[in-house]
Chain A
Amino acid sequence: DAKTTQPPSMDCAEGRAANLPCNHSTISGNEYVYWYRQIHSQGPQYIIHGLKNNETNEMASLIITEDRKSSTLILPHATLRDTAVYYCIVRPSGGDDKIIFGKGTRLHILP
């Protein structure tokens, strides 16, 4: 699997947009970028995924650079409940392949 690099931690003020970066410079043409998060000891939660186009859903937006070597997850109006570890994962297009979790980014939303 291609590897990803994320900052270990970030802070964001409540109500502001949280922008979480991820580098995946060795991503292959058929690999998608996935984002999950884990709120304190709960099971990981799927957020969003994309191949090359920007994606948006009710939880977040995903911006992928044109060369696909990096991406940014955007939480448009962060709340305290968004405090969690966020994982950026690249994996083949087959959705049933196992997920390999890294260390992720610990996002602290500050009141």
Chain B
Amino acid sequence: EPEVTQTPSHQVTQMGQEVILRCVPISNHLYFYWYRQILGQKVEFLVSFYNNEISEKSEIFDDQFSVERPDGSNFTLKIRSTKLEDSAMYFCASLGQGGYGYTFGSGTRLTVV
């Protein structure tokens, strides 16, 4: 069964550093998403991406966040200057044309120290 792949599975970074979280969506999918989950809290929507541009973003997705699909296969989330409160699981998801159920990756655990 096709999978959404996320790397790395765990990243530790120092406060103020830039991090890039990587995702390889399912190959024929067209819609891409990033979500995050702070430990013990709900899964929160960050951003959706379609046709090489952001289609929607949440209040969480401020200027320190950016997304990119640099090469037609990868979908990245960049956090420019990490803060302690950015520590969370980050999930990537994708959806095919006419599809209904997102496929989520297994997540990247980001720890900011």
What residues make up the interface of A, taking CB atoms closer than 8 Å to B? 32, 34, 36, 38, 41-47, 49, 95-96, 98-103
CB of B48 within 8 A of CB of A43, answer no
For this complex, 6 residue pairs linking A to B, each with C-beta atoms less than 8 Å apart, are A41-B89, A42-B107, A49-B101, A96-B95, A98-B45, A102-B42
Q: Which residues of A contact B107 (CB under 8 A)?
A: 41-43
Contact of B31 among A41, A42, A96, A101 (CB under 8 A): A96
A contact face: mostly helix, strand, loop, or mixed: loop
Q: Is the CB of B48 within 8 A of A45?
A: no
A108 to chain B, nearest CB (A): 17
> In this complex, what residue of A is CB-closest to B57?
A98
Residues in A whose Cβ lies below 8 Å from that of B105: 43
B91 touches A44 (CB 8 A): yes
Beta-carbon contact of B104 and A44 below 8 Å:
yes
> Closest CB of chain A to B75's CB: distance in Å?
14
Q: How far apart are the CA atoms of A100 and B3 in the complex, in Å?
A: 22
Q: Is the CB of B89 within 8 A of A99?
A: no
Could you say which residues of chain A place their CB within 8 Å of the CB of B50? 96
Tell me how many residue pairs across A and B have CB atoms closer than 8 Å.
Answer: 52
Which residues from A are CB-within-8-Å of B45? 98-101
Per the bound structure, the CA–CA distance linking A98 and B61 in Å amounts to 14
Taking a contact as CB atoms under 8 Å apart, the answer to whether B98 and A95 are in contact is yes
- A102 — nearest CB in chain B belongs to which residue? B42
Task: Say how far A39's CB is from chain B's closest CB, in angstroms.
Answer: 10
* Cβ-defined contact, A95 with B95, below 8 A: yes
Contacts of A46 in B (CB 8 A): 100-103
> Closest Cβ of chain A: how far from B86's Cβ, in Å?
17
CB of B65 to closest CB in A, whole Å: 15
Considering the complex, which residues of chain B in the window 12-56 have a beta carbon less than 8 Å from any beta carbon of chain A?
Answer: 31, 33, 35, 42-45, 48, 50, 55-56
Instruction: Contact check, B100 vs A43: say whether CB atoms are below 8 A apart.
Output: no
CA distance A34 to B100 in the complex (A): 9
B2 at the binding interface (Cβ < 8 Å) = no
